[in-house]
Amino acid sequence: MAQRTVGVAQYLLARLHQLGVRSVHGVPGDYTLRALGVLKPAGLRWIGNCNELNAGYAADGYARLSALNAVAGSYAEYNPVKAYRSKSMVHHSLGDGDLHTAPAVIDQTLQAYVRERVKVAHNLLSIPLVVAPPTNPTELEDAVVNSVLKLIYASKQPYILVDGLVASDQIVDEVNEFAKLAGFPTFGLTFGGGIINGNLPNYHGVHAGKYGSLDFTSYSDKADLALLFGTLSRQAVAIILITIISGPLLSDTNTQGWSAVPRKDATIAFRRKAIEIRDSEVHALHQNSSNAFALPKLRDVALSLPAPDLSTSIDQDTFYLRISSSFRPYDIIVCENRTPLVGGRDFILPPSTTLVSSAIWHSVGHMLPATQGVALAQQELKTGGRTFFEGDGSFQATAQLIHGMNEDYNDVARWRYLMAPDMMGAPSDGSYEVKTHDVGTWGELMAVLTDEKFQNGKGLKMVNVRMARDDVTNAFKPALKLAGEQLMADPTGRRGCPNAVDITFYTSS
């Protein structure tokens, strides 16, 4: 009896389905039609996009939440990829920089295309894929745990710093439990905002060095132990291999010009495939851990905010704190890669809420199509949560504020964003709920946020929030000045700083 075979495309799609993927994003074309013909038999849904870039970003957003996260996820912010030769952790890069592997990757890709018509044995699909992390010898694990515990017990002023790859590696619950049991002051990085339960009494907010709404450097700079969850930093002094964990992306934008990076001699970094202990002895600074009780907390700042003057214009200084009251458990908030990325650090998020932001790639235009994928994954997860998108840079894909606020290229067309649903063919027969709002004062905004029809999570809700052209949070203005000075000194170095224009955000079921 002849062995049953399947095409490579069928095999790939079947494997993706086994891994939990239910939707495929893309643009139909002559060379993909045969593969598209086997999507339905594989149990997958086709999600068409207008162009390849949007399809890629939508797939990225989908992967951040789908079951595929167990093995893949967003490539640039999940695995080290090859880019700049300098290997600098700068935004608009992939975070590594080794070009020497490019020929091999290109050859492998071309070979895969050539072999697409090859048939493979169908019975291979009955063999489950092994996606669980590898196990380590018990003796090795015990030795590592003892080394880490020794340093923890010896510390006088410790803290925990959490990044977004904790979510990609699906260890959010474990890291939250550790933070709760340890009781150490706990902070997020920009990419890790929303990872730690905001209700934990020892969670203080996002650590952005001296450029955040709250400055924790008086504590962190003198800390004798930093437990860093989630890094792809390099140049380890001592590395001990252990079960796959995670590691933070210590890029310029994620750490605000590297101002939130902990001291190397006091850091234990928990990475995906290793625990890195940079110094075998943490030198106590004879500080008392009671200093932690004097640290400010973002929740307290939010609670102490006076009611806004409802007749005044909306500004970004308190915008993000105030709209936090609209979020519910299981909501997903997507922040565009400009001022929303900075402002999103101030969100006070309920438990089980997910914040999606970029740690290193920072492509303007990324997050709007990514929201399509996020909303689709949210629908498949069936948690009852809503999807929020915040920022208008994605709508016009405009780069803003590089050399100065008054440069011509910072001007953006005054689009009538709220007409977009009609232009895109939103039904008008009531079968899909669409609500649009234009607000320019705190009173108008609060009326929208407290409206049950806005809060119900059904359909599409668009709110155009009008702010001053040059508005930005006061705490971030020094960072903008610093970034401009650095760029003028090195035009080929890190680029891109946020500028304030209208913020359009929408929610979707």
- Above 70 in pLDDT, residue 212? yes
Architecture of domain 155-294: 3-Layer(aba) Sandwich (3.40)
The mean per-residue pLDDT over the stretch 48-61 comes to 83
Residues ≥6 apart with Cβ < 8 Å to 234: 87
Q: Which residue has the higher pLDDT, 486 or 289?
A: 486
Architecture of domain 5-82+101-126: 3-Layer(aba) Sandwich (3.40)
pTM of the predicted model over 0.75: no
pLDDT of residue 11: 82
Residues ≥6 apart with Cβ < 8 Å to 204: 185, 186, 187, 214, 216, 295, 296, 297, 298
pLDDT of residue 290: 52
Per-residue pLDDT tens for 162-205? 988 788 777 888 999 999 999 999 999 888 888 898 889 999 99
The ranges of the chain annotated as CATH 3.40.50.970 are 5-82+101-126, 305-508
pLDDT of residue 248: 46
Burial degree of 419 (CB within 10 A; 0-12, 13-18, 19+): exposed
Mean pLDDT of the chain: 76
Q: Which residue has the higher pLDDT, 63 or 462?
A: 462
Strand extents, DSSP E, 290-353 = 332-335
- Above 60 in pLDDT, residue 361? yes
pLDDT of residue 500: 34
Helix pair 367-381, 52-63: axis angle to 10 deg: 40
Sheet holding 434-439, edge to edge: 354-356, 332-335, 387-390, 503-508, 460-465, 434-439
Residues linked to residue 229 through DSSP beta bridges, in sequence order = 162, 270
The ranges of the chain annotated as CATH 3.40.50.1220 are 155-294
Superfamily of domain 305-508: Thiamin diphosphate (ThDP)-binding fold, Pyr/PP domains (3.40.50.970)
Per-residue pLDDT tens for 391-437? 766 676 544 454 556 655 566 667 888 998 998 899 988 899 999 99
Per-residue pLDDT tens for 148-167? 999 999 999 999 999 887 88
The mean per-residue pLDDT over the stretch 5-19 comes to 81
Q: Which residue has the higher pLDDT, 481 or 485?
A: 481
DSSP string computed for 416-439: -GGGHHHHTT--SSSSS-EEEEEE
Among 78-82, 248-252, 258-262, where is mean pLDDT lowest?
78-82
Determine the 3-state secondary structure of 209 from DSSP. helix
> Which of 388, 352, 353 has the alpha carbon at shortest distance from 370?
388
